[in-house]
Amino acid sequence: MKVLVIGSGGREHALCWKIAQNPKVTQIVCAPGNAGILQHADCVEIDADDIDALKSYVAAEDIDLTIVGPEAPLVAGIVDEFQKDNLRIFGPVKYAAQLEGSKAFAKQFMAKYSIPTARFNVFEKYQEALDGLKEYSFPVVIKASGLAAGKGVIICQSKKEADSALKGMMVNNRFKDAGTTAVVEEYLDGEEVSVLALTDGNYYFCLSPSQDHKRRDEGDKGPNTGGMGAYAPAPLVDPDLQVRIEDEILLPTLDGLREEGHPFVGCLYLGLMITSDGPKVLEYNVRFGDPEAQVVLPLLKTDFVDIANAILDGTFKEMKTELHDGSAACVVMASGGYPRRYEREKPITGLKETPDGVTVFHAGTKWHHGDIASNGGRVLGVTGVADNLKSALDLAYQGVDKIHFDGSFFRKDIGKRALKG
Ligand code: AMP
Ligand code: GLY
């Protein structure tokens, strides 16, 4: 079986690593991939957004199964395009991908199906949005409706900040088309968790609940990033809470999309705030999280390619799916300056010196003058897997200690809150 993975980050490295464990897989190709992915896959220079080129490649090379990493091609309709030509692809169709592609769609969908989420309004006009702020206290959350690479959510402490956020996106086109529609919503207090479910639209299997660390600095301070580390399972999600998340959020979401005639196939990511009123949806993503994939895939015992095939063949209901016991922790090593300006092409040493139990997933790396070198803001996701969270974190940090590149930094407090219990 030949498998194509689309994307080039740590999530895609974790996917290739997991897919490589399937003995029936004879070749993995990754478009465009990175230096770490080369351990498991052949990399081809096709952009993750170039749907036509990806489709031609899959047809010409007889790829049996395509797995999509990032959201942009899903939101642009890559699954529908592949399906037109009977090419097998794992991911949601364009309609269902709106859950991530349009926050206005997602919020209206949740309202329609009574899925718990923050109170909200959707606005197309700046003046109306400004007037609408009257209904909210501060802090208030302002969101660009479309895809904004994780930068489109602004938590505003005052009317002045909210005005400037709205003006920036709705008048000054700060997020281009993504910000012409704005969502204003109530600020929710609580702890965040991510629950990812593999699903055929009817049946689902939840991966270990995980927690990301979005801020750059220790103590959840500093600017937002793509994610500085993650761990799973998150002890916050006890069995009772897991049942509530499935009954109050996951099932009504899958039922709603089925009712609308577009069942969700793929990995559905629920970004949740656990409030004093119970779990509420902050966001949906329609693909694996990054860095969450780097901790949930190592804890998935069942073969991932077998799951994807069962989902696409309609046999998922009968499939036995299992998770490993134990925990996984991922510490991201980033380039100095990230998430703002940073330098690339810094040679990386020590990648082979990490202890047993550590897997180094590459996020932004490339071969450069005979070395593996940095090639992005997030460079590596050093992941430890062990019997418990403390040991997994210790392993990940032992791995980080061995690895060096100029200007690198990482957060020293990944998973700390969960350890305090
Ligand atoms: P989103 O892309 O919608 O998940 O938002 C990014 C981040 O903004 C989330 O992970 C939360 O940390 C924060 N956030 C989003 N919506 C809210 C909200 N209603 N209340 C508090 N924080 C929020
Ligand atoms: N870690 C958050 C995301 O993948 O969107």
CA dist 380 and 397 (Å) reads: 13
Residue type at position 122: V
Probe target for ligand 2 pocket from 215, 273, 282, 285, with the most ligand atoms within 8 Å of CB:
285
The finding on whether 70 has its CB within 6 A of some atom of ligand 2 is no
- Kindly provide the b/e burial profile for residues 251-278, where b requires at least 16 CB atoms within 10 angstroms of the residue's own CB: ebbbebbeeeebbbbbbbbbbbbbeeee
**Residue ranges of domains in the chain, CATH in brackets:** 2-93 (3.40.50.20), 119-186 (3.30.1490.20), 191-318 (3.30.470.20), 327-420 (3.90.600.10)
The rounded Å distance from CA 153 to ligand 1 centre is: 7
- Kindly provide the b/e burial profile for residues 70-90, where b requires at least 16 CB atoms within 10 angstroms of the residue's own CB: bbbbbbbbbbbbbeeeebbbb
- The torsion angles phi and psi of 227, rounded to 5 degrees, stand at 135, 125
The finding on whether 283 has its CB within 6 A of some atom of ligand 2 is no
For residue range 322-376, what is the model confidence (pLDDT) as tens digits?
A: 999 999 999 999 999 999 999 999 999 999 999 999 999 999 999 999 999 999 9
- Among 49, 15, 19, CA closest to 34: 15
- Among 339, 379, 382, CA closest to 222: 339
- Which atom number of ligand 2 is nearest to the Cα of residue 214? 1
The finding on whether 118 has its CB within 6 A of some atom of ligand 1 is yes
Q: Are 186 and 118 contacting, i.e. CB atoms less than 8 angstroms apart?
A: yes
The residue nearest atom 7 of ligand 1, judged by CA position, is 153
Encoding tokens for residue 342?
């940073």
Residue type at position 295: V
pLDDT recorded at residue 148: 87
The finding on whether 71 has its CB within 6 A of some atom of ligand 2 is no
The residue nearest atom 3 of ligand 2, judged by CA position, is 289
Identify which ligand lies nearest to the alpha carbon of 143: 1
Q: Are 71 and 49 contacting, i.e. CB atoms less than 8 angstroms apart?
A: no
The finding on whether 220 has its CB within 6 A of some atom of ligand 1 is no
Count CB neighbours of 167 within 10 A.
Answer: 14
The rounded Å distance from CA 341 to ligand 2 centre is: 21
- Which atom number of ligand 1 is nearest to the Cα of residue 187? 20
Low-confidence stretches of the chain (pLDDT beneath 50)? none
